[in-house]
């Protein structure tokens, strides 16, 4: 790359803006979701708004990363940002929950290329000494976005409308494209043979989609013919995926990594804790808005301190890993999260923002310790030549954990609400859509509102209980962990 210092500065600014845009999208939707559900009347499929974004992003990350090595950073990064802008604009224009889910899938495709290529560009532009500092600043940008996201989502919903949590990405994304077009110049790369595992990626996508659809339909149809066929398809895809990955030249998931017991156990626990994290992000704002009648902004304020505690927990993990075993550090992080979920399960219908704020903040400490440990141990438990692949797989596992478990939690909540709705009452699921939107809840009769709040509280409480069980399972996963000398020392 023939780039001046001025060009380098503007490219770096563009990278930070793109990272912030991508990072904030992961959290800004959570506080706006109750309002979106109330507007588009789609509580029964709300979980897909999160799941499809995570899924398409996870599937596209390794593909975009490989393409960036083969045809260049500039065209792939510009394409990723353009797709993200398109998906954002279309999401804002959605007039039904199905449309929003489809457009979020497009948005997720674009998001799948932004973060990995941002990190690659930093590596291209800076030497090793400067690179660490810039990667730290980029991580801080992501962290700030995680803090601003819930609060920003609430403010935008209260000030404008939920559509603007998506529209706001359009001018920001265009600014990133213009900065890159003006400053990022690349030499023409020699033609290289593509070694993309497209077949493996496609089969994995089909496997997950068929499984998630089976979970969705199971909530209303149990083991109907459609559910059985979808489960059968997912099993066939699983077998086919293993067969494809064994012979793939550059597999999406290198199966050889599973020969390392520590690496396997660490990522199994990461999958479970990542799924529990999304419970905090999604269902606490829903409780505050639907049960307490708080604004979307309050829902964001309650979650914002979690990110501060997360950063503090990350520093604690870094220090502890020099003295403690992986098992003990993960046990500490999991115990903190578990105690927070014990508190969540003890909260009654009258629990409000001042109950959730300190407990969700404390959970951030546990999540920070756990996720930092997952990353470090995933890298240090493999040979140096496998660090990149191991890091990519670890990120994929966490995303899949959130994708699968948010789908399951959504079905469980819907089933719990449907079972608790009085059969001989005028109260319906459509009224629940109205309840969780603070702008429309006041239109409900008081008696109906009180009954619906009690039903919603029972449903979310059950989700907290399931999460508690998953955290207990994490102890069973980390118990057999044994580690020798770390490979990168």
432 and 403 together in one domain: yes
For residue 87, what are its two tokens? 């998906």
366 and 411 together in one domain: yes
For residue 96, what are its two tokens? 């039904």
The pTM for the full model equals 0.80
228 and 301 together in one domain: no
**pLDDT band, very low/low/confident/very high, at 320 (cuts 50, 70, 90):** confident
CATH number for the domain including 112? Answer: 1.20.1250.20
Average pLDDT score over residue span 473-487? 79
pLDDT of 205 higher than 90: no
Residue reference for tokens 């800076």:
126
Q: What is the pLDDT of residues 382-406, one digit of tens each?
A: 776 666 667 667 777 888 888 888 8
In-domain check, residue 243: yes
**pLDDT band, very low/low/confident/very high, at 239 (cuts 50, 70, 90):** very high
Alpha-carbon gap, residue 107 to 20, rounded angstroms: 15
Alpha-carbon gap, residue 165 to 155, rounded angstroms: 10
For residue 237, what are its two tokens? 């895809």
Residue reference for tokens 């859509």:
433
DSSP 129-186: HHHHHHHHHHHHHHHHHHHHHHHHHHHHHHHS-TTHHHHTHHHHHHHHHHHHHHH---
How far apart are the two ends of the chain, measured CA to CA in Å?
Answer: 32
**pLDDT band, very low/low/confident/very high, at 81 (cuts 50, 70, 90):** very high
For residue 432, what are its two tokens? 């629940």
173 and 275 together in one domain: no
Average pLDDT score over residue span 93-109? 92
Q: What is the pLDDT of residues 133-170, one digit of tens each?
A: 776 677 667 767 777 777 788 888 888 888 999 999 99
228 and 289 together in one domain: no
pLDDT of 488 higher than 60: no
Mean of per-residue pLDDT scores for the chain: 83
User: Which of the residue ranges 168-177, 206-215, 324-333, 458-467 would you say has the lowest mean pLDDT?
Assistant: 206-215
For residue 478, what are its two tokens? 């980390």
In-domain check, residue 17: yes
414 and 474 together in one domain: yes
Counting Cβ atoms within 10 Å, is residue 267 exposed (0-12), middle (13-18) or buried (19+)? Answer: buried
Q: How many domains are contained in the chain?
A: 3
In-domain check, residue 254: no
pLDDT of 331 higher than 90: yes
- Nearest Cα neighbor of 457 from 353, 344, 325, 375 is 344
For residue 73, what are its two tokens? 């950073």
Cα–Cα distances in Å, from 335 out to 213, 338, 361?
A: 33, 5, 15
- Which residue range is the domain that position 179 belongs to? 1-191
């Amino acid at each position: 790359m023939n780039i001046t210092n001025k060009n380098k500065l503007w490219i770096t600014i563009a990278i930070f803006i793109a990272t912030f845009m991508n990072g904030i999208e992961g959290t800004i939707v959570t506080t706006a979701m109750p309002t979106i559900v109330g507007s588009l009347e789609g509580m029964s499929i709300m979980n897909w708004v999160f799941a499809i974004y995570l899924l398409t992003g996870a599937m596209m990350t390794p593909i975009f990363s490989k393409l960036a090595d083969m045809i260049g950073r500039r065209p792939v990064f510009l394409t990723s940002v353009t797709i993200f802008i398109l998906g954002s604009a279309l999401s804002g224009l959605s007039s039904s929950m199905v449309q929003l889910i489809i457009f979020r899938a497009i948005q997720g495709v674009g998001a799948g290329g932004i973060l990995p290529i941002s990190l690659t560009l930093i590596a291209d532009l800076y030497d090793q000494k400067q690179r660490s500092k810039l990667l730290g600043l980029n991580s801080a940008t992501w962290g700030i976005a995680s803090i601003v996201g819930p609060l920003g989502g609430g403010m935008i919903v209260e000030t404008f409308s939920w559509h603007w949590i998506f529209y706001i990405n359009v001018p920001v994304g265009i600014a990133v494209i213009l900065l890159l077009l003006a400053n990022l110049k690349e030499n023409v790369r020699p033609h290289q043979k593509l070694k993309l595992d497209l077949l493996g990626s496609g089969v994995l996508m089909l496997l997950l989609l068929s499984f998630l659809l089976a979970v969705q339909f199971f909530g209303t149809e149990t083991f109907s013919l459609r559910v059985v066929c979808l489960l059968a398809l997912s099993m066939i895809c699983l077998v086919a995926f293993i067969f494809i990955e064994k012979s793939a030249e550059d597999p999406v998931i290198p199966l050889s990594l599973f020969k390392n017991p520590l690496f396997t156990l660490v990522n199994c626990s990461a999958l479970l804790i990542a799924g529990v994290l999304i419970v905090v992000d999604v269902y606490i704002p829903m409780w505050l808005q639907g049960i307490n009648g708080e604004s979307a902004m309050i829902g964001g304020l309650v979650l914002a301190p979690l990110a501060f505690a997360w950063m503090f927990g990350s520093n604690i993990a870094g220090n502890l890993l020099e003295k403690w075993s992986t098992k003990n550090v993960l046990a500490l992080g999991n115990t903190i999260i578990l105690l927070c979920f014990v508190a969540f399960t003890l909260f009654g219908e009258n629990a409000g923002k001042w109950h959730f704020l300190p407990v969700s903040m404390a959970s951030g400490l546990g999540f920070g310790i756990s996720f930092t440990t997952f990353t470090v141990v995933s890298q240090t438990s493999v040979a140096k030549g496998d660090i990149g692949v191991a890091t990519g797989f670890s990120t994929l596992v966490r995303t899949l954990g959130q994708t699968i478990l948010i789908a399951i939690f959504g079905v469980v909540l819907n089933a719990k609400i449907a079972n608790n709705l009085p059969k001989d009452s005028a109260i319906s699921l459509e009224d629940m859509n109205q309840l969780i939107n603070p702008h429309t809840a006041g239109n409900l009769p008081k008696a109906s509102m009180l009954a619906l709040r009690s039903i919603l509280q029972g449903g979310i409480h059950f989700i907290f209980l399931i999460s508690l069980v998953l955290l207990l399972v994490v102890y069973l996963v980390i118990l057999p962990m044994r580690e020798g000398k770390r490979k990168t020392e």
